[in-house]
Structure 1
Amino acid sequence: MTINLIIFPGYYIPHIGGLETHVDEFVKYLSKDEDFNIYIFAPNIPKYKEFEIRYNNVKVFRYPAFEVIPNYPLPNIFSIKFWRMFLGLYGINFHVVMTRTRFFSNTLLGLL
């Protein structure tokens, strides 16, 4: 059985930090198992590719975001691009939803 897993990290590569490295190492290891389809939905800070495939089919979606407070990304809910990306995920039946941080706004996205 194929397991669809989505991760909502506070940040992701190319942003530099421990959380980003941990998530990247985690998906690198997990992607070796072909029974997993892995998706990452992270803020596009700093600006980078909006979509890329890493390792063995890890799909990374970087949504429009901004920081009002340093190191606290907020999704740009006024962006049509954000809503297209976010609502596009609803077509996928996720078996596992992971939020990697408690107090980041994208934890709420994982709940929705």
Structure 2
Amino acid sequence: MKIEELDTIVVPARQEGFQSVFIDSNSWWAIRISASMLDRIKFIAAYQVAPVSAITHVAEVAKIEKYKDTNKYILYFKDSAQEIKPILLDAKKKGFAPQAPRYTSYTKLINAKNLSDIF
């Protein structure tokens, strides 16, 4: 995938943070983002870690700001995150579960069935 096509960041989320921040606060905090990607990110997707093990929600990004005095960022959503058909972790492929933020394209994301279709 070409860098010009990357417009979506996929973040790993544990259940408690996912519900209270991603869903209830319409934002996601303390994300490491490459400086070259800051202007490209238009969407954020949440990969819920085990036992869910799937990307379940996506949101359009309204703005990105520095997070406190760190080299991390906070993403604010335009609207509430939308639930999508789960994009599942491939059962037979190791190493696809996001351990840190990863980039993809929104087009690949909405057409994917498994994580290996995205990355």
So what's the TM-score if we normalise by structure 1? Answer: 0.30
* Greater share of strand: 2
So what's the TM-score if we normalise by structure 2? Answer: 0.29
* Greater share of helix: 1
